[in-house]
Amino acid sequence: MNLEVHSTLTRKRNRVEKEGNLDSSRNNNFQMDSLNKLAETISSFADKVDRFMARDQRMLEAY
């Protein structure tokens, strides 16, 4: 996971623990889940781009 995303999630988690407000905690948990899913999607997309670039490089080297 990207370190910037991880540090943001850690700060959010710490703030949720300090607030102790149930509704706020639920909203923040939803936001953290959404950020985690977004980070996973970005990582998956980056992996696909890397694979395509490697494939294209192999094709260029074959010529």
Q: What is the pLDDT, as a whole number, of residue 23?
A: 64
* This prediction's pTM: 0.53
pLDDT in tens, 1-58: 444 555 666 676 666 656 555 567 677 788 888 998 999 999 999 999 999 999 998 8
Q: What is the pLDDT, as a whole number, of residue 1?
A: 45
Contact predicate 5/31, CB 8 Å: no
Question: Structure tokens of 49?
Answer: 């781009």
Three-state DSSP at 47 gives: helix
Which carries the bigger pLDDT value, residue 60 or residue 42?
42
Question: How many degrees, rounded to 5, is the angle at CA 31 between CA 7 and CA 48?
Answer: 70
Amino acid, single-letter form, for residue 8: T
Query: Cα(41)–Cα(48) distance, rounded to whole angstroms?
Result: 11
Total structural domains in the chain? 1
